[in-house]
Chains A and B, each alone.
Chain A
Amino acid sequence: MAQGSGDQRAVGIADPEESSPNMIVYCKIEDIITKMQDDKTGGVPIRTVKSFLSKIPSVVTGTDIVQWLMKNLSIEDPVEAIHLGSLIAAQGYIFPISDHVLTMKDDGTFYRFQAPYFWPSNCWEPENTDYAIYLCKRTMQNKARLELADYEAENLARLQRAFARKWEFIFMQAEAQVKIDRKKDKTERKILDSQERAFWDVHRPVPGCVNTTEMDIRKCRRLKNPQKVKKSVYGVTEESQSQSPVHVLSQPIRKTTKEDIRKQITFLNAQIDRHCLKMSKVAESLIAYTEQYMEYDPLITPAEPSNPWISDDVALWDIEMSKEPSQQRVKRWGFSFDEILKDQVGRDQFLRFLESEFSSENLRFWLAVQDLKKQPLQDVARRVEEIWQEFLAPGAPSAINLDSHSYEITSQNVKDGGRYTFEDAQEHIYKLMKSDSYARFLRSNAYQDLLLAKKKVWLL
């Protein structure tokens, strides 16, 4: 193997942002792994274990790892610690010495730590040629522990077919690797062999296991050196080594211009001028909102009559579709003006109330403007004109009452006829309704009777 002996420090991982999109996680895992192996500060007990006539060097039990994780990462539930241990194994930092499947068990199963040379943070993307060399090498050695598993034998057969032309080259490389390996100390070899196998368990996982080397495709562009030919595990350099299809050319980084910074300065000045609330006030507001709505939150307060997902009974949804609102729903209309506007039935009731007071034009205007904003572009101009004629033009049938300033702005906007023509007017009418009509509606008999379930809803 093309590596030095012992505990080689991983090749420079300078900026966690660079290279692999998973780098930030790798750094955290490496931190954990390093602490775990540090016997001066309460690391796990790594021992050589006697087994039959041989020794098993440098192992730690699953239980010890799980215990360590619980203690050092403040994990209360062993299930969580086992899950985290399994993930660290699946990423390739720890492995069971007697299994290709990279998972963690809370028992006496033996695990070993991966060599930094093989750490995922080195951005390995080993080619099939490397894998072929590895499998081929394994068949050349007469050790029972190195026998190929079924899926490995299948892989080898497939690779032999695929690389038929250059199999001689691969065979030679495998022989060379075997020669290098033979020169190493027996115990060291045991450890290195297992680490090498664990490496391939990550990059060529057992069928059915998660391939943790898969990357989020949206983040692949930030891989460094997209054009660089990938390095070989066994130091094989070959012209026909392909580039990763995943290494798409990264976008040229746009440099920050003076204009960008000027915009930023304008933005920052605007933020400094912004009037903000104190945290204590904000906290009170968030708490109050949540407390008010908790009885409506089906994941906290069981829904009445039942949650359809639990009971398989859609009664809840049928009731909501009907025109008869429950007391609970009516109560909600009183929480805020937005609540009654959001609810179709609430809106209708409010409209009826306004009609009885001969002031429904405000709500109808508000609804018309909401509708305008939903229109396709080509219909906008026409709708603007219609709204103007209906609500604002001199002699309009449903004239709304706007102050002169707002009226000025609106009549100017109408000339351009865009989607946001009536924004200013809508805001005024909204505030007017909220402080006046809505407040009176809540005090009205119509609403109170509904709230106390004395009467049914007003129908058309």
Chain B
Amino acid sequence: MCDQTFLVNVFGSCDKCFKQRALRPVFKKSQQLSYCSTCAEIMATEGLHENETLASLKSEAESLKGKLEEERAKLHDVELHQVAERVEALGQFVMKTRRTLKGHGNKVLCMDWCKDKRRIVSSSQEHAVTMPCTWVMACAYAPSGCAIACGGLDNKCSVYPLTFDKNENMAAKKKSVAMHTNYLSACSFTNSDMQILTASGDGTCALWDVESGQLLQSFHGHGADVLCLDLAPSETGNTFVSGGCDKKAMVWDMRSGQCVQAFETHESDINSVRYYPSGDAFASGSDDATCRLYDLRADREVAIYSKESIIFGASSVDFSLSGRLLFAGYNDYTINVWDVLKGSRVSILFGHENRVSTLRVSPDGTAFCSGSWDHTLRVRDAFLFSCV
């Protein structure tokens, strides 16, 4: 049993509100008064805020930022690429295009792989089935492979059950799930067909129940449009990362809706975020023409992937299965392949005739697909010739 302290309760008229309550002593400028508990609470919070102006709060925040940077810098004892010097260099890569999917008649803005590793959905087509959405900016395959989610300028995310019966009208079976107040920039199913995570130009992310369309959780914190998101790969994880036009990447707890970590080192919009396969880190691609790697355990940026000759923004990034390679599609029509550990570029891929807008490695890592404003999708793989 713990000690119990007994409080002597004095009943009387509160000095502030004059109601008959249990009173407690309260000191205001060295004068003792008797307040009821409600007024005492209010006074406590007011007292804290009395001398706070926007300016003083801002300066407090600034000094905390400085302190945080100091603390992190103490742990920054070495660079990743320095430690990675002992790692064997990758050989020469030959990447070949294995499939070119043409005939969209539209810019390809987004794509996703089906878990069966073979099928792809993109903003204009799935297989040979034309998507009934216009202005689609985001699309995702359901884990079961039986449905697709998509949305864009309609501010919604809608789910379409897939059917291979060409006579069936896909649009008729559409189910509107998410409603934002601005364009939908990204969507992803969680590990189930029943929940969808969305990101929007309205600056928020949200988790939705597919069947009822109900909002399960919303995520506020970005100061501008959210452009991308990625779910953590862990079996038990309940987190995801988002990137926005406020140059911030934020990691969220799906259960509480709280931001648990934030990273702000990019110099412009973050167009794409993707977790490193272990879930301990994630990469981002930005309009500032760099890609960066952030580690969650160090709570810090650990690598930058950039070159003087790369001046156009990176629109989309993804890792190979082992996390050794980072594929990044750029607005200069190319794809750069980076050695994640050493920080160097391994390969540059040409072929697209306009911006590369989307890029994903297949679920089993056997190939990667890029979509472009040139109306095509290209599926590519790699041969690696080892250094002799």
> Interface residues, chain A, CB within 8 Å of chain B?
17, 21, 24-25, 28-29, 32, 69, 73-75, 77, 79-81, 83-84, 87, 210, 214, 217-219, 221-222, 251, 254, 256, 258, 261-262, 264-265, 267-269, 271-272, 274, 276-287, 289-294, 296-303, 307-310, 316-317, 320, 338, 341-342, 370, 373-378, 419-420, 423, 426-427, 430
Mark B267-291 against chain A: 1 for CB-CB distance below 8 A, else 0.
1110000001110110000011100
Q: How far is the CA of A229 from the CA of B320 in the complex (A)?
A: 48
Q: Is residue B373 within 8 Å, beta carbon to beta carbon, of the partner chain?
A: yes
A79 to B309, CA, bound (A): 12
The residues of B that contact A277 with a CB separation of less than 8 Å are 75, 295, 297-298
Q: Complex Cα distance A28/B323, Å? A: 31
Query: Interface segment, B12-20, B27-35, B36-44, B377-385?
Result: B377-385
Task: With both chains docked as a complex, state the minimum distance between the C-beta of A193 and any C-beta of chain B, in angstroms.
Answer: 29
- List residues of B whose CB falls within 8 A of some A CB: 52, 54, 57-58, 60-61, 64-65, 67-68, 71-72, 75-80, 82-84, 87, 90, 96, 98-99, 117-118, 135, 137, 153, 182-183, 185, 190-195, 201, 209-212, 214, 216, 223, 225, 227, 234-236, 238, 245, 255, 259, 261-262, 267-269, 276-278, 280-281, 287-289, 295, 297-300, 302, 307-309, 311-313, 320-325, 331-334, 340-341, 348, 350, 353-354, 361, 364-368, 373-374, 379, 381-384
Shortest Cβ gap from A106 to chain B (Å): 15
Q: In the complex the two chains form, is A283's CB within 8 Å of B80's CB? A: yes
* A258→B54 contact, CB < 8 A: yes
Report yes or no: A307 in contact with B212, Cβ–Cβ below 8 A. Answer: no
A291: which B residues are within 8 A, CB to CB? 87
Contact partners of A25 in chain B: CB under 8 A: 287, 289, 311-313, 331
Q: Is the CB of A87 within 8 A of B295?
A: no
A269: chain B residues within 8 A (beta carbon): 64
Central interface residue in B71, B255, B354, B381, by most chain A CB within 10 Å: B381
> B353 — which chain A residues lie within 8 A by C-beta?
210
Given the contacts A24-B288, A283-B83, A286-B80, A219 and B298 also touching, CB distance less than 8 Å? no
B298 to chain A: closest residue by CB? A282
CB-CB nearest 6 A-B residue pairs: A374-B192, A297-B322, A293-B322, A376-B211, A283-B83, A268-B64
Across the interface, do B313 and A73 meet the contact criterion of CB distance under 8 Å? no
- Nearest CB of chain B from residue A89's CB, rounded to whole Å: 13
CA separation between A300 and B337, bound complex, in Å?
12
- Are B87 and A287 closer than 8 Å at their CB atoms? yes
Apart from A258-B52, A286-B341: 8 A-B pairs, beta carbons within 8 A: A24-B313, A218-B227, A261-B54, A264-B61, A268-B65, A286-B80, A317-B117, A376-B210
Residue of B nearest to A91 (CB): B312
A297 & B324 in contact (Cβ 8 Å cutoff): yes
Contacts of A376 in B (CB 8 A): 194, 209-212
How far, in whole Å, are A445 and B235 apart by their CA atoms in the complex? 26
Q: Is the interface of B mostly helix, strand, loop or mixed?
A: loop
A219 contacts B269, C-beta separation under 8 Å = yes
Distance in angstroms between the alpha carbons of A419 and B194 in the assembled complex: 12
State how many angstroms separate the Cβ of B220 from the closest Cβ of chain A: 10
The docked-state distance in angstroms from the alpha carbon of A87 to that of B63 is 43
Asked if B78 contacts A300 (CB within 8 A), the reply is no
**23 cross-chain CB contacts under 8 A:** A17-B268, A21-B287, A25-B331, A80-B309, A84-B311, A87-B312, A87-B332, A210-B353, A218-B183, A256-B54, A261-B54, A285-B280, A286-B276, A286-B278, A286-B302, A291-B87, A297-B320, A299-B325, A299-B382, A374-B190, A377-B211, A377-B212, A377-B216
Q: Contact: B78 with A283, CB < 8 Å?
A: yes
In the complex the two chains form, is B298's CB within 8 Å of A290's CB?
no
Q: What A residues does B182 contact at CB under 8 A?
A: 251
Known: A297-B324, A309-B381. A279 touches B77 (CB 8 A): yes
**A residues in contact with B312, CB < 8 Å:** 25, 87
Complex Cα–Cα for A316 and B381 (A): 15
Q: How far is the CB of B259 from chain A (nearest CB, A)?
A: 7
Cα distance A296–B320 when bound, in Å?
10
Docked-complex contact A262 and B57, CB < 8 angstroms:
yes
Q: Which of B75, B308, B340 contacts A73 (CB 8 A)?
A: B308
From A261, A294, A316, give the contact of B366 (CB < 8 A): A316
| Contact between chains at A298 and B78 (CB < 8 Å) | no
Which B-chain residue is minimally distant from A292 (CB atoms)? B322
Q: Which residue of B lies closest to A293 (CB)?
A: B322
Nearest CB to that of A69 among chain B residues?
B309
The answer to whether A287 and B54 have CB atoms under 8 Å apart is no
CA distance A316 to B192 in the complex (A): 26
B324 (CB) vs chain A CBs: closest residue: A290
A283 to B77 CA separation, bound complex (whole angstroms) = 11
Q: How far is the CB of B74 from chain A (nearest CB, A)?
A: 9
Report Cα–Cα, A419/B96, bound state, in Å: 45
Residue of B whose beta carbon sits closest to that of A377? B209
> Which residues of chain A come closer than 8 Å to B277, judged between CB atoms?
289, 293
How many whole Å from B339's CB to the nearest CB in chain A? 10
B192 / chain A contacts, CB cutoff of 8 Å: 373-375
In the assembly, what is the distance between CA of A17 and CA of B247, in Å? 12
Neighbouring B residues of A69 by C-beta, 8 Å: 309
Are A420 and B255 in contact, CB atoms less than 8 angstroms apart?
A: yes
Contact residues in B for A210 (Cβ distance below 8 Å) = 353-354, 374
Asked if A296 and B322 sit within 8 Å, CB to CB, the answer is: yes
A302–B91 alpha-carbon span in the complex (Å): 13
Contacts of B195 in A (CB 8 A): 374
Q: Is the CB of B278 within 8 A of A289?
A: yes
Other-chain contact of B137, A218, A274, A284, A286 (Cβ < 8 Å): A218
A287 x B153 contact (CB < 8 A): no
The residues of B that contact A338 with a CB separation of less than 8 Å are: 234-236
Q: Which residues of chain B are within 8 angstroms of A309 by Cβ–Cβ distance?
A: 98-99, 366-367, 379, 381
A284: B residues at CB distance < 8 A: 83
A353 to B: closest C-beta gap in Å: 18
B323-A290 in contact (CB<8A): yes
If A73-B309, A83-B332, A286-B280 touch, does A298 touch B341 (CB 8 Å cutoff)? no
Which A residues touch B212, using CB under 8 A? 376-378
The distance in angstroms between the C-alpha atoms of A426 and B382, with both chains bound, is 41
Pick from B299, B361, B366: contact of A308, CB below 8 A: B366
- Kindly list chain B residues whose C-beta atoms are within 8 Å of the C-beta of A80: 309, 348
- Closest partner residue, chain A, to B64 (CB atom): A268
Specify the chain B residue showing the minimal Cβ separation from A310. Answer: B381
Quick check: B313 and A214 within 8 Å, CB to CB?
A: no
Q: Taking CB as reference atom, which chain B residue is nearest A283?
A: B83
Whether A276 touches B75, Cβ cut-off 8 Å, given contacts A282-B298, A290-B340, A378-B212, is yes
Question: What A residues does B185 contact at CB under 8 A?
Answer: 218
Q: How far is the CB of A124 from chain B (nearest CB, A)?
A: 19
In the complex, A83 Cα to B117 Cα: how many Å? 33
Per the bound structure, the CA–CA distance linking A191 and B126 in Å amounts to: 50
Instruction: Tell which of A80, A282, A301 has the most Cβ of chain B within 10 Å.
Output: A282
The answer to whether B311 and A28 have CB atoms under 8 Å apart is yes
A300 touches B269 (CB 8 A): no
**CB–CB B288/A290 < 8 A:** no
Once the chains bind, are A294 and B64 in contact (CB under 8 Å)? no
Query: Which of A279, A290, A307, A423 touches B381 (beta carbons < 8 Å)?
Result: A307
